[in-house]
Amino acid sequence: MKKRMLGQGLEVSALGLGCMSVSGAYGPKLSQEDCDALLRGAFDRGITFFDTAEIYGPYVGEEMVGHALAPIRDGVVVATKFGFRAGGKVERGNLFPGFDSRPEHIREVCDQSLARLGMDCIDLLYQHRVDPAVPVEDVAGTVGDLIREGKVRYFGMSEAPADLIRRAHAVHPVAALQSEYSLWSRDVEDTVLPTLRELGIGFVPFSPLGRGFLTGGVQPGSLTGDDWRSNMPRFKGEAGEHNFRLVQALSELAAQKGVTAGQLALSWVLHQGNDIVPIPGTRKLERLEENAAAADIVLTDDDLRQIDEAVPSGSFEGSRYP
């Protein structure tokens, strides 16, 4: 798989792997054996960029990822995240338990994440969500100190607006911003993406397949209660039915090109710029292979025009979170 560069020199595979689902967000968590097979299978297919967070599980996600990647640690880039209250409870429909990006807490989380991952350095450490109670300059300064101490290599932010990205970057260079971006979530195109490109910051889209909806494999109202997407407005009711019709239009275009709807949606994201590295998640090797193949799809200007006509920006209904 081809490589892409994030920020100030962090080279990763053009496609990464989001690892939230291995710890149980989309149904029961995987066994460690299955997690090992999935992540090492990704590596065998050229994927070298793996994304997790302390809150996935909570906490067990980092342990599972660390175990799976231990034999291939020298060949991979591992990202994790801080920014939530220690011991906070994750309830159905409420993924995030409360913010905490105090400098002392960042240091605590960094050490704990290193221990859970079984690593001596975190390649990319993100602030998972902006904490309105802590100046972003303090966050950037603390991560900068961790970088100078050798515990972290690069600093990232997630779901941050353009003004805060600028403020953080002025204190310590931001290598990457991670935010939701796909055919059904294009808000970052207005101010965030232009800011990233002005400052030389890479972009890591999470949920580039619309949490699986853009594959056409998730029917509105079909999700069970142990899948946290079942509580999301875009997946149910009239919004879900409307959105599924748009996905059917995407599927028709994909069939004409001889690819799946998911591959077409993922290829669209990859074609938005060489500074973009999407991290689709999956729990299955066959889906991983399908996603990896999307990195080799070439879309013409006419292909991109047809996609934009079939699923225009802003055409999907429903909010991203409950």
**Order of strands across the sheet that contains 122-127:** 17-18, 49-51, 77-82, 122-127, 152-158, 174-180, 202-206
Sorted by sequence, the CB contacts under 8 Å of residue 132 that are 6+ apart come out as 99
- Cα distance between residue 175 and residue 61, in whole Å: 23
Please say if 56 is a catalytic residue: yes
For 108, the enclosing helix (H) or strand (E) is helix 103-117
Asked whether the CA dihedral 158, 148, 170, 108 is positive or negative, the reply is: positive
**Catalytic pick among 56, 126, 154, 181:** 56
Other C-beta atoms closer than 10 Å to the C-beta of 144 total 16
**Which residues, other chains included, contact 136 with Cβ-Cβ below 8 Å and sequence gap of 6+?**
127, 130, 160, 164, 167, 168, 171
35's tokens: 């997690």
Catalytic machinery residues: 56
